[in-house]
Structure 1
Amino acid sequence: MKNSRFVSTPAYDERLTVPLRWWVQGVMLLAFIWFITVFWVGPTLASGITAAGCALFVLAMVAYGNAKITVAGGELQAGTARIEARFLGEAVALDETDARHLAGRDADARAYLLLRPYLKRAVRVTIDDPADPAPYWLLFTRHPVALAKTVNALRASL
């Protein structure tokens, strides 16, 4: 029997990839590293050092930008965390200011946070599970209104 989350089409699916400017800045940093090291160790070793740095950089960017938010199969998945729809409370789309405050000065230490510094807006999803210590999930996203509508629609379908 197949798992239902793989059978159904996701109602919402977003990968939180890093922005293009991070890639450009990383390439510029790697070029600078090559330029500095070529005078100290020669072009062959400098190229090897830069290639190793390039591999680490690509791995870091892909791993960090691999976080995903999905609503499918009766559950919300954000990063590595999952929660069934029956435990979801109201989802509210937050503007830049409210998201920054809820991730900072107004944050609850028990909350589940999926933060990305290159995203400015978020969705707050209240958790209605007495066994779960997290009072809410704060999910930074590129499309907060669409995510909030999808989570609220999932709740209403129960």
Structure 2
Amino acid sequence: MTDSVLYSEKLWPAWWLWVAVVAIGGATLSTAIFPIDVIWGVVTLLGGIALGVFILVGTTPKIEVTEKWLKVGRARIEREHVGRVVAHREDAAREQLGPGFDARSYQCIRGWINPVVTAEITDPRDPKPYWLFSTRHPEEILKALGADEPVRTEGISVK
């Protein structure tokens, strides 16, 4: 039996992070080398840029929903152990990342991506109560996981 992919997403960095990594990666070591030798300065500049891009690409997590698994970053769990799934935007997302946050949860958060998803973990052997992860397409993840709740946009008011 094949395990068909129902949803897949890479949480690529925002454009400004690419610009910052290229600028910092290129400038950091090359500024010390340029006064010594221009050719080695250029080589160091290009090497710093390549290293920065390599790190960004290598640390970009992937979300994948298959018929059997939910995979987020380096973690994966069988879908039979995934309970209620809720997506959040705007104030509701800030609520999940702030006052509503449980430090025992598994997180795969990217600060430049506003929507987040909480997926309840029902496996009694798993100490994580839920997974909290960023996504650019919360509606599609909800659909792939069979959740029929709308994406929440309002947080819980604390009085």
- Alignment TM-score > 0.5, same fold: yes
Higher helix share: 1
Contact 1:88 1:128 (C-alpha < 8 Å) held by counterparts? yes
Counterpart of 2:69, as a letter, is E
The normalised TM-score by structure 2 is: 0.80
Among 46, 55, 70, the alignment partner of 1:60 is 55
Residue 22 of structure 1 is matched in structure 2 by 17
- Tell me how far apart the structure 2 counterparts of residues 131 and 25 of structure 1 sit (CA, whole Å): 42
Matched, 1:108 2:102: yes
- Counterpart secondary structure, 1:18: coil
Partners of 1:91 and 1:149 within 8 A in 2: no
d(CA) in 1 for partners of 2:29, 2:128: 46
User: Is 1:151–2:145 an aligned residue pair?
Assistant: yes
Contact 2:26 2:46 (8 Å CA) reproduced: no
CA-CA distance at 1:22 after TM superposition? 2.0
TM-score, reference length from structure 1: 0.80
Say how many residue pairs are matched: 147
1:76 is paired with a residue whose SS is strand
Instruction: Give the conservation status (yes or no) of the 8 Å contact 1:114–1:139.
Output: yes
Distance 2:22 2:120 in 1: 40
* Contact residue 11 and residue 71 of structure 1 kept, 8 A: yes
Where in structure 1 are there 5+ consecutive unaligned residues? 154-158
AA of the residue aligned to 2:52 = F
**1:156 equivalent in structure 2:** none
For 1:117 and 1:75, the matched residues in 2 are separated by 25
CA RMSD of aligned residues (A): 2.2
Structure 1 contact 18–64 (Cα < 8 Å) conserved? no
| 1:39 Cα deviation after fit | 5.3
Q: Which aligned pairs between 1:2-21 and structure 2 lie closer than 5 A? A: 4=1, 7-21=2-16
Q: Percent identity?
A: 33
